[in-house]
Amino acid sequence: MSQNPKSGPAQALQRARLYTFVDTAYLKGRSAASVAAQLAEGGSDLIQLRAKGVDLPTVTHVAQEVQKALEGSGVVLVLNDHAGLAAELGIEACHLGQEDFFDEGHRKVGDVFPAGVQPLLGLSSHAPEQAVRAIEAGASYLGVGPVYTTGTKPGRPAVTLEYVRWCAAHVTIPWFAIGGIHKGNLDAVMDAGARRICVVSAILQAPNVAKACQELKARLISRPLETN
């Protein structure tokens, strides 16, 4: 991979609306590769592999399986937490939490990758000052949430729609509202200014993963992307 992010993934990020997950905690006997294929079929633009509490050799194996499943799909694969592994495997993007980036002493995106290799890097944010700090560090995109309380982030208080409104007014890089979002509250999230969302459980626990993606994507693209 070249020193700068590939034009393909960077351009795909600018167009992205629906960001979904292959979360090993929600596989329930399904293979990560099959879930990734269903998410791609449903219109996901980015798919994050999240494997909390899983040893690195297993994460590596699963990541390679998901990479293979997404070949030629145009979907950007994001690896959660493991920046070095993302660079090693040529995965297009990595996502880190605030504590995994700033609390580890990093100040710029380039700090977390080997010299000459720089996938896209997304950073979580839970408040305006965190968004500003992440943007100044060179984040490719922001995660904004949790908008609503969610089991995927136990103990994390909801940022509410107020933070979504703030991001709509102030953030110019791509940002994705995340946390407890589903069909029943998506309009409220979009009314607050979000045009991109991340969804975990509402899709992974749906009877038909691809259909759940399609329904959310259709709602998202009914509103113009505008500049954020």
pLDDT tens-place string over residues 102-130:
999 999 999 999 888 889 999 999 999 99
Q: C-alpha distances in angstroms, 70 versus 40, 73, 137, 172, 212?
A: 7, 5, 29, 29, 19
Write down the pLDDT at residue 118. 83
Question: Quick check: bond before 146 cis, omega within 30?
Answer: yes
- Confidence tier at 186 by pLDDT (50, 70, 90): very high
Phi, psi of 38 (to 5 degrees): -65, -40
Mean pLDDT of 91-102: 96
- Confidence tier at 3 by pLDDT (50, 70, 90): very low
Q: Which CATH class is domain 7-220?
A: alpha beta
- Confidence tier at 18 by pLDDT (50, 70, 90): very high
* Helix locations, the chain, DSSP H: 7-15, 32-41, 56-70, 83-89, 98-101, 128-137, 160-170, 186-191, 201-204, 209-220
- The rounded distance, in Å, linking the Cα atoms of 74 and 81 is 22
pLDDT tens-place string over residues 138-176:
999 999 999 998 766 667 789 999 999 999 999 999 999
pLDDT tens-place string over residues 205-221:
999 999 999 999 999 99
Please state the pTM of the whole predicted model. 0.93
Domain positions in the chain are 7-220
Write down the pLDDT at residue 152. 67
Write down the pLDDT at residue 27. 96
- The rounded distance, in Å, linking the Cα atoms of 1 and 8 is 12
- Confidence tier at 4 by pLDDT (50, 70, 90): very low
Write down the pLDDT at residue 173. 97
Sequence letter at residue 106: H
* CB-based contact 95:124 (threshold 8 Å): yes
pLDDT tens-place string over residues 59-84:
999 999 999 999 999 999 999 999 99
